[in-house]
Structure 1
Amino acid sequence: MSIVDEVESISKNPSSVYLVVGGNDYWENQIINQLKEIIPQEERTMNFATYDMDDVPLSEAINDASSMPFFGNRRVVIIKNAFFLTGMRNKSKIKHNINELERYLDNISNNTVLLIFAPYSKLDGRKKITKKLKKNSTVINLNDFSEREIINFVKQYIDNKHYQISNDALNELFSRTQGDLSKMINELNKVMIYSNKEKKIDLNIVDLLVAKSINQNVFSLVNYLMKGKTTQAIQFYHELLEQKQDSIKINAILESQFRLLLQVKILKDHGYSATMIAKSLKIHPYRVKLAYQSVESFTVDYLQAAYLELVQIECKLKSSQENPELLFEMFSIKFSQKKNSI
């Protein structure tokens, strides 16, 4: 069953326990909306509750889930940020008694729908509670929502609204939102208002209305550098500074991107596919896909040298009064020359 079908079935035929793995704002909101449909509006105050594990002990949520509905037939209890299902350490000082959840799973209430959000890329499958929860729940894995499924879902969403979108416009929308479904839908709603008369969305409309983030602007900068277009890279860097973008932040994103390129190159040379790399590095598949395509004509030594140079620039920016523009110009020229010698 697809994620779309799984989510839509919640209000029609709810399970007693759900485990939602992975973070996705759009689907999380859709799931919560489906759960609300289970409880009549007038009963929600007493029979619909949310508990954040960063702020509230697990025992409070389990006590609520174990209680009979108040003047109703069903109760919904939502647990957010279930970090105890992972191997991570949480800064919260809240103590959680995992045994209480285990006992609940041994005696699940027929009157309650318990939903647990674990917005993480991976759970700790060695833990007893993780194994038991997976065995006794309906698992919805948002991490499995692929790039193709996102594109197809957005196409269907647009079609249902009786609009049309060109392929290049859809690709640009995907790029500018980094494949974040929630952002895509939000931007689409804005674009649809603009194109309400003709109900056609083209590249010009997306370019006009969907802003590029600082990250995407820096990705454009990286593309210039990777293609050896030194003049364009330097000019674009000046434009970012004129837009009041912080030089340290720009360098940090550059550093992050070259680190990713280096990691992807090393793993690609060891036979990893783009999908395998995305899972290994726990990075959005779209970012890995772009990096995978970019590193073909570069050596590990080149990418490593570029990354280490950016680390040195970061130190200079933070500890001296050196001109950021001059540092970037020297970096661009230096690695453009190295690229041409590959």
Structure 2
Amino acid sequence: MKKIQYTDLLKKLNADQTDPVYLILGQEDYLEQQIQRAFQNLVPKEEQEMNIGNYDMESTSLGAALDDATSAPFFGERRVVFVRDPYFLTGERHKGGPNHDVDGLQTYLEHPVDSTVLVIFAAYEKLDGRKKIVKTLNKQAITIQIGNLNQGQISQLVKTRLTTKNYTISPEALNQLLFRTDSKLSTMMNELPKLMLYNIGKKEITVESVDALVSKSLDQNVFDLSNAVLQKKSKQAIDIYQSLITQQEQPLRINAVLVGQIRLLLQVKILQNQGFSQGDIAGTLKVHPYRVKLAMQSSRHFSMTDLTKGYTGLIDLDLQLKSTQKDPELLFELFLLQFIDQKIA
């Protein structure tokens, strides 16, 4: 398999250096959009309508895409053909849809057309490596993995994007941006324009601007909710909860995230008591270091008894939410009030 990094791909395409076949593996909307734009720019704008083809394998036959790929460019030098949702490369069973000429693709991969750039977007974690077509694709195509990015890769992409605009971002601001967007690259990139406009004078993204402009994610709101519950601040806890309901968040989902947050506080407190450092805890739990830092700061204010009671109470609430017809909001508020009054057994 011939692999290259996303950034190296863009550099080559911007330098007009291409290969006949590319496989874009994984799903990340922002990177996919940037890659597609870079390939489209290989064809002059006035030629794009005739020399760029888009084919979704859910609704269009592979044969149609191959016919396009084997055609000479129309009054131009290059043709770009995009193929999406190639489920026949995976092990999943697919009912309905068009018939696909997989043998035809096999032949094309062995003898690609020089004037065509074939780009296959496979938004899957992995392909079925047992299939002959996948083995050939791995051998012939340039593969770019864009899914399952780690925190370091996401952070670097954000910083690189800001650098191209002559901006910087403080470590605290970057951590807060990661936290507020649940480390979703596309969401982070969508937030950058207003952050840059807000900080246009200093050209540095600050944590204050992130706090002011980037909406809190469900995880962030539940982090605040868990602190309010554990601190026995009933009004604040109920206000946050009601705000989440107003935002159309479902009680079961809120409860699931809250269970996860208090479980994290428990795990962090236990590991911290055993002498683990912040980095060790993050590695052991496979959690972003910034979340661990916040959990360490928060957990020191709560006893193991309170954390355990809160956790077991939420597990019980989860069962009630799933097994009774009672009003979920009422059940949740009852849990909050019972916990705050320390009546949970």
TM-score strictly above 0.5: yes
Pair 1:145–1:243, CA change in 2 (3 A): closer
RMSD: 3.9
In the other structure, the counterpart of 1:281 is none
**Range with bigger deviation, 6-15 or 31-40:** 6-15
Q: Does 1:9 align with 2:17?
A: no
In the TM superposition, what is the alpha-carbon distance from 1:159 to its structure 2 partner? 2.7
Question: Are residues 1:176 and 2:180 paired?
Answer: yes
1:314 maps to what in 2? 321
Cross-structure match for 1:86: 90
Closer, same or farther in 2 for the Cα pair 1:168/1:136, shift >3 Å?
same
- Amino acid of the residue matched to residue 104 of structure 1? Y
- 1:23-34 correspondence to structure 2 within 5 Å: 23-34=27-38
- Structure 2 vs 1, CA of residues 82 and 320 (structure 1 numbering), >3 Å: closer, same or farther? same
SS in structure 1 of the partner of residue 41 of structure 2 = helix
Relative to structure 1, the CA distance from residue 303 to residue 65 in structure 2 (aligned partners, 3 Å threshold; closer, same or farther) is: farther
1:50 counterpart SS class: strand
The reply to whether residue 231 of structure 1 matches residue 229 of structure 2 is no
1:23-56 deviation per Cα after TM superposition (whole angstroms, max 9, x unaligned):
1112111111111121111111111011122222
Distance change (3 Å), C-alpha of 1:90 and 1:206: farther
Matches within 5 A, 1:119-134: 119-134=123-138
Larger Rg: 2
* Structure 1 counterpart SS, 2:22: strand
Unmatched 5+ stretches in structure 2: 272-280
Structure 2 CA distance for partners of 1:246 and 1:190, relative to 1, 3 Å:
closer
- Which residue identity is paired with 1:9? K
* Alignment of 1:138 onto 2:142: yes
Counterpart CA distance in 1 for 2:11 and 2:283 is 28
Identity %: 33
The answer as to 2:165 corresponding to 1:158 is: no
Q: Deviations over 1:114-141 (max 9, x none)?
A: 1011112222222222222111100001
Structure 2 CA distance for partners of 1:49 and 1:236, relative to 1, 3 Å: farther
Name which of 136, 149, 153 aligns with 1:149: 153
Measured at CA, do residues 194 and 289 of structure 1 come closer, stay the same or move farther in structure 2, by a change above 3 Å? Answer: closer
Could you tell me how far apart the structure 1 residues matched to 2:183 and 2:203 are?
23
Unaligned runs of 5+ in 1: 279-284
Quote the Cα distance in structure 2 between the aligned partners of 1:4 and 1:164: 19
Aligned equivalents of 1:28 and 1:97: distance in 2?
Answer: 25
Q: How many residues align?
A: 321
Structure 1 letter corresponding to 2:147: N
Listed as ranges, the matches of 1:286-297 within 5 Å are 286=288, 290=291
1:210 and 2:214 are equivalent in the alignment: yes
CA distance in 2, matches of 1:261, 1:98: 50
